[in-house]
Structure 1
């Protein structure tokens, strides 16, 4: 099945080998520098003296991270799905470090980052996450968004890979999903998962003796700059632009 057909039917698709091993190595090295520079920032999530298992606000901590979606093959796919005005609106980081694994139950992704909380309307449940206002978005907005998960490590049965319910992106509430078997998404480092926010998904703990990381850069993209009810995105970085020299300077684009 063509990747676009699978995305439309199932709500997710895997793009293989978007990034070569040397490119992934450069991304990991840059992320290590970012974590050292921002070790005390509340956006960096650590526990009990362990390594970072997650991070928020990457568009502030690591502005060059937007260069990932501007890799030629990936940029073209995002423009095909979201249109020429698409932008990155939030970036997160996840890891399941050896000895510090975690799990998440079945859920859909509803939260978006905005500049400020406004009056009740189409957006609900205002919260603050690492100093940034967030709200729950309506289906009409989430249907025009796409999540990009860049795998910095292979996802295997032993390091808590993502599990998804195919076709669940057609329903806003998990209880309305059609009863379909879950799929476990294993892949190689450098592969990229495209996923609609409303896909119901979960992940389990890594196997205790696996000794594996599961590092992922999670980039959320929207079709355009507009939001209803006077709201504005906290961040918006256009996808359809060339990758500049200061974004991953150690990466030599293979197709530019």
Structure 2
């Protein structure tokens, strides 16, 4: 398949939606892996409104071969001219009765292995045993987010809303006058499809109103090494010839 159209849309608008990345049986296999995983430790978060697994490849390693099928590896190759690697993998399950919503924001934080005082690395956080930091803007600009949809997702069960082209404005305050809510677009995605996004694209998520689940695997890719001695918390090389990942995850 050729994903040139998706690449152009991602660069110009800050997002793109594609269908048929996975077959039904591939989705079923991925969900079975997740359901069979031991759900303990800081990487697992469960509330009435959300269940999440951070460091997904580390905690559910069987998923890597299933996720990185021929279509996904071709997609990543088509999207990027240089060698990209996986820097973040999270599973989100928004239950059918969830009242959880997220206001408009940009994804400005990356997960790193330690806290180090470095120029242009700001707004440090420490949550669930993980350090987060806002890196230099070129790292955010070169990040590619791929959200794999394990359920059909529309405006009634939490499909992401985006402000097209907002990623071109750099880092903006959510209450800024530089963007207009009237321009928002709802990214409805079929089961087995995916949403591509730039992290600087302003995006939001509404409450679930139709009683249907919204399960998503959120992947982030980058091509930059961080300023030494800082390193990505997760770093998995993509081996397109075998559709497998090679781990260089931080210890």
Instruction: State TM-score, norm by structure 2.
Output: 0.87
Tell which deviates more after alignment, 213-222 or 136-145.
136-145
CA shift digits 1:125-181 (9 cap, x unpaired): 111122111111221111111011000000022212110010011121142644360
Which residue is equivalent to 1:219?
219
Contact 1:66 1:237 in 2 (8 A): no
Look up the match of 2:184: 182
Higher fraction of strand: 2
Deviation string, structure 1 residues 55-101 (Cα, Å, up to 9, x no partner) = 22213211233335522222122123334421111111212202233
Match of 1:197, SS?
Answer: coil
Q: 2:123 aligns with which of 122, 125, 135?
A: 125
Looking at structure 2, the residues matched to 144 and 218 of structure 1 have their Cα atoms a distance apart, in angstroms, of 16
Q: How does 1:51-70 map to 2 (within 5 A)?
A: 53-67=51-65, 70=68
- Structure 1 gap segments, 5+ residues each: 246-256
Q: List per-residue Cα deviations over 1:168-195 (Å, max 9, x = no partner).
A: 1112114264436000011210001111
Q: Does 1:22 find its partner at 2:25?
A: yes
2:204 corresponds in structure 1 to 202
- Structure 2 counterpart of 1:250: none
The answer on whether the counterparts of 1:115 and 1:231 sit within 8 Å (CA) in structure 2 is yes
Structure-to-structure mapping, 1:1-256, within 5 angstroms: 2-34=5-37, 37-38=38-39, 40-47=40-47, 50=48, 53-67=51-65, 70-171=68-169, 172-174=171-173, 175=176, 177-179=178-180, 181-207=183-209, 210-224=210-224, 226-241=225-240, 242-244=242-244
| Separation (CA, whole Å) in 1 of partners of 2:203 and 2:156 | 17
Kept after mapping to 1: 8 A contact 2:110/2:135:
yes
Tell me how many residue pairs correspond in the alignment.
237
Specify whether residues 140 and 244 from structure 1 end up closer, same or farther in structure 2 by C-alpha distance, changes over 3 A only. closer
Task: Select between 198-207 and 72-81 the one with higher mean Cα deviation.
Answer: 72-81
CA distance in 1, matches of 2:178, 2:76: 26
Q: List, as ranges, runs of 4+ consecutive aligned residues in structure 1 with deviation greater than 6 Å.
A: none
